Structure 1
Amino acid sequence: MGKHFLEGLVGALCADALAMPVHWYYDRAALARDYGTVVGYRAPRNPHADSILWRSKYTPLNEKGEILHEQAQYWGQRGVHYHQFLKAGENTLNLQLARELYDWIRSHGGYSSEGWLRHYADFMLTPGRHRDTYVEECHRGFFTRYAQGKPLAKCGIRDEHIGGLAHVPALMAACNDLKLGRLRAVVKEHVGSTHAHPNVLRAADTFVRVCWVIREGASVREAIT
């Protein structure tokens, strides 16, 4: 039965890589011009017609907040693709972290929020680990608080974005031997470490419960009603 959750993680990774070059296009004509019909993995193209990365800002307080590294020079510029240096088939930062999470749990024999957060910090603070230009608000807020001297367990912000669900498939796949109650608790703890918003936590819990009953044999329609 555990393979179903692993297949869900693989599906999430594939979907992210497929969608990566067309993230945040609003002009459908520009989307058709730049990529046509997307039927396979594609590399991102610059310039990005609808990029609003120029409006995003992040200034690290000190070395504990230095998460943009070589990508910082592109923030504030117009037309920059959010994932400009990723190759066709590569994952965005959030799903790269999901893969890291899966591997970390499997290699350590189980989930530990304290241990994972140390690995997360090491990953984000090491130049060249992911090569993704865009870094979501949850990461910026987390490392701003870390740079202020807060312990890793207290650095999550009240972020309500859907990125809070990005790691749930990895958690379910890596912890597939847990009982439902324990799995829900692990997901709540993990998601809350970066997205301390009740709506995101409720969405993550619903995601787990829906996937669980589907794995047990329910149809998608039965699972969501």
Structure 2
Amino acid sequence: MRSVIVTGGAVGLGKGIAQKFDAEGFRVGVLDLDPVKTEAAAAELSNGIALVADVTDQAAVEAAFAKFGAAPDVLVNNAGIVSFGPLLEQSPAQFGKVLDVHVLGTFTCAWVAAKAMADRGGAIINLTSINAITPGPGAGAYPAAKAAVAKLTEHMAIEWGPLGIRVNCVAPGFIDGGMSAPIYADPKVRAARGGAVPNGGLGTVEDIAEAVWYLASEKARYVNGHQLVVDGGVCHSLLRALPRS
């Protein structure tokens, strides 16, 4: 049976991604920080195993991988946090914590996975964001953190490709779920953002899970170091929103 570990897999996008791999017959390691939520999410899967760890803690991550057993075929680095607010209202400590979880956490989990995968190859998919491409105001350290993950993905791809490890990332746009769910609880925000998307609405958790699944699959065997943007075209919609006369 093929296997995957999904970080931040107990809730939101991570949970949806874990469910997709479970539906495809994978053994799924749900790696998250909250023991109760992690156990509950794993219990909902046909072949789930709860792995409780802080992604920035090397020893905890190594212990979680050891509990999982054999090296996973796929790692999905989804764990993340946000600290919304203008940059001038962000303390360096707040800013650094977001960077730690996204950048250090992604590297730590990928590093542990790659060492285990080196003998037989595998796939690593990191979650970035359209904020890595076009920062949104009030997003704190999130754009910088996700941009760093995007570049780290490219770096991993060129170094680990010769080991048979493909490393790619998925950049979600306006997704109705995960950490963005509270934003879209406001009907006005929901309508405004959905209306700004060329596809005409918000994306879903399933849209992201399908993109991750593609990059993990053999159909993407020649895709390495790529950022797959899943945003309904919103990153390219600036001129569409401007008057032409």
TM-score (norm 1): 0.32
Whose helix fraction is larger, Structure 1's or Structure 2's? 1
Q: TM-score, normalised by structure 2?
A: 0.30
